[in-house]
Amino acid sequence: MSGTSLDGVDAALVRLSSQPEAFELLGAHYLNYPDDLKARLLALHASQPDEIHVSLQMANELARLYAKAVRELTNKTNTPSSLIHAIGCHGQTIRHRPDAGYSLQIVNGALLAELTGITTVTDFRSRDIAAGGQGAPLVPAFHASMLSSPEEHRVIVNIGGIANLTSLPCKGKVFGFDCGPGNMLMDAWAARHLGKPVDENGAWAARGKVQPALLTALLQNPFFAAPAPKSAGREQFNIAWLDQSLSGDEAPEDVQATLLELTARGIVDAAKTHCAGYDALYVCGGGVHNLALLKRLEKLAKKPVNSTSAIGIDPDWMEAIAFAWLAKQCIEGKPGNLPAVTGAAGPRILGAIYPA
């Protein structure tokens, strides 16, 4: 998994079974994106000269990096590659435009299969979009399969670059959608003013004061009022969009505090509106490490806020595990989407398979 945060590659080695539906995390590995690679990927989010050539070359580069992650993970776990049924590779999103009928995650799946000798499944979003869906979020189907409880209405909150939630009622339909920015704006602001990729533990934001006028302006983004199903990316939330709402007189730590509040409000407002009567929030993704954000979520929600580790899944590897599950669904010819989440016309088998 490589997400909107553009921080690196999460690789998980997962044993999956269908009866009953279960998984076992056998090992995990992380590869950081070099600064140069991150900068070039970020540049691809906007049009540039010869971008077709550039994007395809970067798809090859990413395939080699993903192959390295697979190699290092199998070495770490002493697992022969011959024992691995498939790689589920999300690829790196550089454009997400379901409104225009596409979402582009770059990776050369054929090259990844060639380099690893392992059947590779990629391009998970296109089939859902072809059926009229958003192509995102896709992980709620995995949440529904593995994390539902007959005693507790759980809301699973993934805080990556973008935040999304999954409502898992004890009875009734599973529901989910992207609910606004996650770490993306906070990370960009920290990089600009601290020279660091993240605001560790939210400590810098905790020293600032929320600016009500700025928060109100940011909440005017049409995405927040749009009905679900909906999904978001850098197209809606980016540093240039933030700059348009700044006077230039704000203290940097106050802006960071306001961005943290924006993320928290987006999540809690969505949960209150669409997940009536829920019992607890369970957080995964990089945002689980932002202690100031978790405290703010709990205060706003007035409900327990826990890591997904409390219900059996390491929050750092949730999405990588989910794409292993999605690859299994594809190979077995089973749907991987939830139409109630994405808005697709019906269940669809997701992914393109490159045999070993």
Token pair 């993970």 is found at 73
Integer CA distances (angstroms), 72 to 67, 92, 99, in order: 9, 20, 38
**pLDDT at residue 4 in the model:** 86
Beta-carbon contacts of residue 339 (< 8 Å; ≥ 6 apart): 133, 345, 346, 347
Task: Look at the pTM and tell me if it is higher than 0.75.
Answer: yes
Mean pLDDT, residues 5-13 taken together: 94
**pLDDT at residue 5 in the model:** 87
pLDDT tens across 275-333, in order? 999 999 999 999 999 999 999 999 999 999 999 999 999 999 999 999 999 999 999 99
**pLDDT at residue 18 in the model:** 85
Neighbouring-strand partners of residue 90: none
* Structural domains for the chain: 8-136+317-354 (3.30.420.40), 139-311 (3.30.420.40)
**Angle at 121 (CA atoms; ends 347, 97), nearest 5 degrees:** 60
**Angle at 110 (CA atoms; ends 106, 116), nearest 5 degrees:** 105
- pLDDT confidence tier of residue 238, bands split at 50, 70 and 90: very high
**pLDDT at residue 2 in the model:** 93
